[in-house]
Structure 1
Amino acid sequence: MARRQGPARGKQHTTFQKGGFTFETDKGFESLLMKSGKVEALVAAKTAELTAKMIKAAPRGPHVHTDEFSIKKNVHGYIDNIGSEWVGYIVVEENERARHAMLQERGYRDPAGRRHKGRFFFKKVLESEALDDD
């Protein structure tokens, strides 16, 4: 019985046509890709897009003279390199004196004990951006 001759085993190298980039398949090209500048730009763009949608969905508020406590003025997007990949963050109200965004989001009880239901404006934006498993 003759043995079938297959491809040689051991380290296999693949060369991309653009830029002459070479990677070893046993080390995983995913980590090199996730650290690249193109992925950073993509994460920054998607974070900025989601931040803009959250700012648009946030309530305007009665703040006429100052923007210090306005929800729309206190939503910011950031990106950071964590381990071997880029991660986008959206921070709501870094100002420690302004804490009413989450009260409006999830609801609250006023000092008289009346319940005010949440508006869920941030949750709706996040749900609209979620990928379906279908």
Structure 2
Amino acid sequence: MHRAWEDELLSSPEARQLVELHTADVAQLAIKEAPKASHKRNWNSIKNNISAMVTLYDRGGWYGQVVIEADHDVRHAMLQEEGWRDRHGRRHPGRLYLKAALERARIE
């Protein structure tokens, strides 16, 4: 057995399929848990701005990530996650929907 067997395994097409599967699961959970203001599906709603992406690193294998609001005109998803202070100084707690999605997708 040669030393780079892990690199070959992690960059294989089968590994990509597994990473895509689990990344899509986390993205679906994040979309499901995302707060909604109304029943309309506006261009700037949080659910419309969550997507999954899988990329290949040089030697590290496949890497999956859930991208939230790639459009720079939409910035409220992280405010909903972590909370914010309004103009009067009142604290609005975060909803922690992304953390909940990651916890539900966790394998123990």
Structure-1-length-normalised TM-score: 0.73
Higher RCO, Cα 8 Å, sep 6+: 2
Instruction: Give, in angstroms, the shift of residue 131 of structure 1.
Output: 4.0
Matched, 1:54 2:30: yes
Matched, 1:70 2:45: yes
**Going by fraction, where is helix more abundant, 1 or 2?**
2
Matched, 1:95 2:71: yes
Contact 2:25 2:105 in 1 (8 A): no
- After TM superposition, which residue ranges in structure 1, 4 or more long, deviate above 4 angstroms? none
Letter in 2 for 1:35: S
Higher-Rg structure is 1
Contact 1:63 1:70 in 2 (8 A): no
In the alignment of these two chains, the number of paired residues is 107
Percent of residue pairs bearing the same amino acid type: 36
Runs of 5+ unmatched residues, structure 1: 1-24
Q: Find the counterpart in structure 2 of residue 34 from structure 1.
A: 10
Runs of 5+ unmatched residues, structure 2: none
Structure-2-length-normalised TM-score: 0.90
Instruction: Give, in angstroms, the shift of residue 129 of structure 1.
Output: 2.5
Letter in 1 for 2:93: K
